[in-house]
Amino acid sequence: MAEDFVWRGQYRPNMFTPDNDRDQLLDIESAGSISEADLAADIQKQGIEINTDTMIDLFSRRRKALLDRLLRGYSYTDDIVQMSPRVTGVFADEGSPFDPAVHKCVIDMSAGSTLRANLGAVKVKITGKKDAGGAKISAVVNTLTGKNDGTMVLGDDISIEGDKIKIADETDSAQGVFFIASDGSEYRVSRKLTMNKPKNLIARVPADLPAGEYTVVVRTKFSNTSTPLKSIREIKYSYKVNAQK
């Protein structure tokens, strides 16, 4: 097929691998929902001379006919979808009756041959990390190495990249860049930030920070509007960092 097809998706943490705090799953963003009127319009673009109301009526009659067949136990196959009846649940023995409290009638559905063949032509564009609030830390970069491999050097700078991470008031001790140890101990960056922008902070790792593993946290009242947030927003980096001498 000549046309390009693109699915857009966002990363989200993989909760099924608790021993790995880095791997991600991809949630595909819906391109929108379609109605029978939308399908009718698409068909009309192909040059067919059937008005929208007539096509929608035909669609409705087809759905009703297909529903009736499926409820009677028929399988259905076309090049887009395959449907087949199935009963879920376990029967105690060969003489056990169907029990609605245990068993359920379902229809299994899978892609038809043409749909399967064309899925290989779909391109995937990753648009970022799923984040309902919009505020996020996307990377913590070691400025000496230029890598975001989780290493940072005591007394040197790190670059924190993300969105809505600007510290609204650096003189407020409740706001700033914090390193949280596994035992809950907190260490705040007291030195003035070299860069303090909505998408980028450059912070000096405290030289007296005990070596070890930490979670980087930004706390701020920054807002995209002229009015600061009334309460502190806490933004955590998803991955652990390791402070080294």
DSSP-based helix, strand, coil % in the chain, nearest 5: 15, 40, 50
Average pLDDT over residues 120-137: 81
pLDDT of residue 21: 60
User: Is the pLDDT reported for residue 200 higher than 50?
Assistant: yes
pLDDT of residue 245: 84
81-88 and 76-77: which strand pairing?
A: antiparallel
pLDDT of residue 12: 75
- The pLDDT confidence band at residue 166, using thresholds 50, 70 and 90, is very high
- The pLDDT confidence band at residue 88, using thresholds 50, 70 and 90, is very high
Average pLDDT over residues 188-214: 95
pLDDT of residue 231: 85
Average pLDDT over residues 218-235: 87
pLDDT of residue 1: 47
Half-sphere exposure of 61 (CA within 13 A, CB side): 6
Average pLDDT over residues 84-92: 96
Look at residues 52, 21, 22, 17 and name the one whose alpha carbon lies nearest to residue 36. 52
pLDDT of residue 224: 80
User: Is the pLDDT reported for residue 227 higher than 90?
Assistant: no
Report d(CA 148, CA 142) in Å as an integer: 6
User: Is the pLDDT reported for residue 132 higher than 50?
Assistant: no
DSSP 147: B
Average pLDDT over residues 126-146: 82
pLDDT of residue 127: 86
